[in-house]
Amino acid sequence: MPPAFLTEAERGNPHTRIDSRRGDGRAYTSGNDVRVLVHGADYFRDLADRVRATEPGDLVLFTDWRGDADQRLDGYDVTIAELLCAAAQRGVLVKGLMWRSHWRKLHFSAEQNRRLGDLIQAAGGECLRDMRVRLGGSHHQKMFVVRHRRHPDRDIAYVGGIDLCHSRGDTTDHRGDPQAQHMAAEYGSTPPWHDIQLAIQGPAVGDVEACFRERWTDPTPLTRHPFRVLSNLIRREDTVADPLPDQFPDPPSTGGLDLQVLRTYPYRRTGFPFAPQGERSVARAYAKAVSGARELIYVEDQYFWSTDVVDVFADRLAANPNLYLIAIVPMYPDQDGLAGAAQTFGRARALALLRAAAPDRIGVYSIENEDSVPIYVHAKASVIDDEWTCVGSDNLNLRSWTHDTELSCAVHGDDFGRALRIRLHREHLGRGDTDDRDLIAAKDLFKTYAQAAADLDAWHESGRLGRRPPGRLRRYDEPRVGRLRRLLARPFYHLIADPDGRPRALRKAGKF
């Protein structure tokens, strides 16, 4: 078995069929090909190609946190709604599950998600708004599955951090998506955006599809809230999932990679039938992988907070004096006000734990574009010793490990982790693809990152005199928060920003 992969028992959820459906006793698949799509524009272009090639009788299945019907796909004069509606109209079975979302006044996406669903429904597809979450929770999974009735070798699944919405369609230049969402002022009018999605082919496509089918066939009502139920009745909204055809056989082997699908499902009193006590295989997989880390943990994460989560990393760093950790996080919170202060509060506590465990082996950085505008890091990716790589929707915080629904993929084989890591290093350091000598060994990489960030920081401190140093790396320093705002941020952080969705016994025991 690949290192750090979970066994079926270690997943801790005997009610799911994701592992048992294959009948081979394994909790992962082999023979996969996985491409990494760094930046939303690359993902949107790839997705448009694949959906446009579908034929009558093919399947397009997706879940998302937010979908903007008018989001244009890079390289095409087409929106996401037009792409999916055209597929449904030519006889492709299009099924979607969008998070119903909270109020627009709270800067969420209820109206946008409803609009996308309405357009798909009118075109002959089916897109349901799903609110089967914990109080204050969300469906945060971002998956797309395209299955072909006549050409299984073309089957593909996408899993990662990129939503079908505004601000995500950035490129390697990081000038931002012209269709931008409002964010904190530091990110400008078109916020630069760094994100990652996996394009998966091979038997693992069947596992991703099985995740969709478990949610789709859940007989629990999409919402129990009386006002939402009344709204559904008034609007005559579709709230009952139509049956799906039987799942096609898994696609044939097409590569040399092992892949394990990992999820988070919270504990709910009206629990998921496929996870009545929830599922925390994301958290369990990280705990297993980090506990065996030898030389390097490389992380890109939107949040990277919660002492319960960071303890997993701090314990291993303290136990292994040869282990380094490099993390890329956003320079500023995505929101102003109390929400932003809560994010700063959470990360400051987490980084203090890490630095206490290994003060000389922790490097935390942010990135900016060549115009010195901060790039918002929305990626959720980790590479441990180049052997275990995880990319998905889950952030490194308690909310993603226990409270919301999440979907990620761990990948092993064919130097996949090293190739991804080097690709990201080259971008952040402003390098071409010829000289990687100081990017391989953990100690060398640690020094290279520190020097590159120090050079760019010094250039800023000098008033930007002379030529700008190469690269995008800046040393991360926690933004200052006043005493009163810190006092208010603490309860907001624990109750709103980073709640705990574990059953009470696990919460008391501090386990996942």
Q: Considering the domain boundaries, does residue 306 fall inside one?
A: yes
Q: Considering the domain boundaries, does residue 314 fall inside one?
A: yes
Q: Which two tokens stand for residue 138?
A: 């969300």
Give the C-alpha separation, 353 to 306, whole Å.
10
Per-chain mean pLDDT for the chain? 94
* Amino acid type, 252: P
pLDDT of residue 340 exceeding 70, the answer is yes
The predicted model gives 324-352 an average pLDDT of 93
CATH code, domain with 361: 3.30.870.10
Three-state SS annotation for 408-449: EEEEECCCHHHHHHHHHHHHHHCCCCCCCHHHCCHHHHHHHH
Indicate the pairing of strand 193-194 with strand 143-147.
Answer: unpaired
Q: Considering the domain boundaries, does residue 52 fall inside one?
A: yes
Give the C-alpha separation, 402 to 498, whole Å.
10
Q: Considering the domain boundaries, does residue 59 fall inside one?
A: yes
The predicted model gives 454-470 an average pLDDT of 97
Give the C-alpha separation, 255 to 253, whole Å.
6
Structure confidence at residue 316 (pLDDT): 98
Structure confidence at residue 81 (pLDDT): 96
* 4 φψ region: left (φ > 0), alpha (ψ -120 to 50), beta (else): left
The predicted model gives 341-350 an average pLDDT of 92
Helix, strand, coil abundance in the chain, percent, nearest 5: 35, 20, 45
Give the C-alpha separation, 415 to 393, whole Å.
23
Q: Which two tokens stand for residue 332?
A: 């500023």
Q: Considering the domain boundaries, does residue 25 fall inside one?
A: yes
User: What are residue 245's DSSP bridge partners?
Assistant: none
Please provide the DSSP assignment of 354-382 as one string: HHHH-TTSEEEEEEB-TTSPBPEE---EE
User: With bands split at pLDDT 50, 70 and 90, how would you rate the model's confidence at 111?
Assistant: confident
Q: Considering the domain boundaries, does residue 511 fall inside one?
A: no
User: What are residue 399's DSSP bridge partners?
Assistant: none
Residues 61-89: tens digit of each pLDDT:
999 999 999 999 977 789 999 999 999 99
Range of the domain at 461: 1-504
- DSSP 3-state assignment of 170? coil
Q: Considering the domain boundaries, does residue 512 fall inside one?
A: no
Full-model pTM: 0.96
Q: How many distinct structural domains can be found in the chain? A: 1
Q: Considering the domain boundaries, does residue 465 fall inside one?
A: yes
Structure confidence at residue 225 (pLDDT): 78
Burial classification of residue 250, based on how many CB atoms lie within 10 Å of its CB (0-12 exposed, 13-18 middle, 19 or more buried):
buried
Structure confidence at residue 108 (pLDDT): 56
The HSE-up count of residue 249 (CA atoms within 13 Å, CB side) is 7
H or E element, residue 63 = strand 59-64
Residues 4-36: tens digit of each pLDDT:
999 999 999 999 999 999 999 999 999 999 999
Q: Which two tokens stand for residue 95?
A: 């099924």
H or E element, residue 230 = helix 226-235
Dihedral sign, Cα of residue 248, residue 249, residue 251, residue 257 = positive
The predicted model gives 190-215 an average pLDDT of 98
User: With bands split at pLDDT 50, 70 and 90, how would you rate the model's confidence at 102?
Assistant: low
pLDDT of residue 205 exceeding 90, the answer is yes
Give the C-alpha separation, 304 to 307, whole Å.
10
User: What are residue 384's DSSP bridge partners?
Assistant: 297, 388
Structure confidence at residue 238 (pLDDT): 79
